[in-house]
């Protein structure tokens, strides 16, 4: 099943399936666990409706879509990922007013010898925040910034969000 097709779903409730949400992808599920591995400058948007127990995640790569983008990967850009993920969650019956939101990633992990590249991580985090504010979605917790990559897990049954930084312990947000 394609994680980029926001209207597609994973296994039935009660499943322990792990669904990897790759670069530029988004996925909605009622079962199992959504995982974004090795987030560096990318940002994972984790949304959860605790009443319907439906979870959604987008793996944002860049702050904004170029005018030439065909819209084939709405999860790739902050400005398109938020509306696409909200639309997929609404299609699953979720109500935006109930959604709990967590953000993970946005680290400054890219550097050149003698100088730094533009801080894409910080720009991604800011663009996601702006898009969430436009959608009137409050952020309940986050693990963003810094210089280390992270992996995030979102459990569909509970809404539990766990984060592990490189060489660090796993913590719950």
- Decide if 13 is inside a domain: no
| DSSP run (H or E) holding 35 | strand 33-39
- Decide if 93 is inside a domain: yes
Number of structural domains found in the chain: 1
pLDDT of residue 167: 85
Catalytic residue among 42, 125, 132, 143: 42
Quick one: tokens of 24?
């530029």
- Decide if 47 is inside a domain: yes
Q: pLDDT of 117-169, one tens digit each?
A: 568 999 999 999 999 999 999 999 999 999 999 999 999 999 999 999 988 88
Q: Are 128 and 45 in contact (CB under 8 A)?
A: yes
Output the domain CATH number for residue 122: 3.30.1330.200
Active site residue 42: yes
Query: Which domain does 139 fall in, by range?
Result: 18-164
- Decide if 95 is inside a domain: yes
């Amino acid at each position: 099943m394609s994680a980029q097709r926001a209207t597609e779903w994973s296994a039935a409730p009660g499943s322990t399936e792990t669904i990897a949400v790759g670069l530029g992808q988004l996925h909605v599920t009622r079962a199992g666990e959504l995982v974004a591995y090795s987030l560096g400058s990318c940002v994972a948007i984790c949304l959860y409706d605790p009443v319907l127990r439906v979870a959604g995640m987008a793996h944002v790569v860049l702050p904004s879509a170029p005018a030439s983008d065909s819209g084939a990967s709405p999860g790739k850009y902050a400005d398109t990922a938020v509306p696409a993920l909200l639309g997929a969650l609404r299609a699953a019956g979720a109500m935006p007013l109930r959604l709990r939101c967590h953000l993970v990633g946005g680290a400054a992990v890219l550097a050149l010898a003698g100088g730094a590249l533009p801080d894409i991580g910080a720009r991604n985090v800011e663009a996601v925040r702006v898009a969430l504010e436009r959608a009137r979605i409050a952020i309940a917790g986050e693990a963003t910034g810094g210089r280390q990559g992270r992996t995030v897990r979102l459990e569909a049954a509970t809404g539990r969000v766990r984060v592990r930084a490189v060489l660090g312990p796993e913590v719950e947000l």
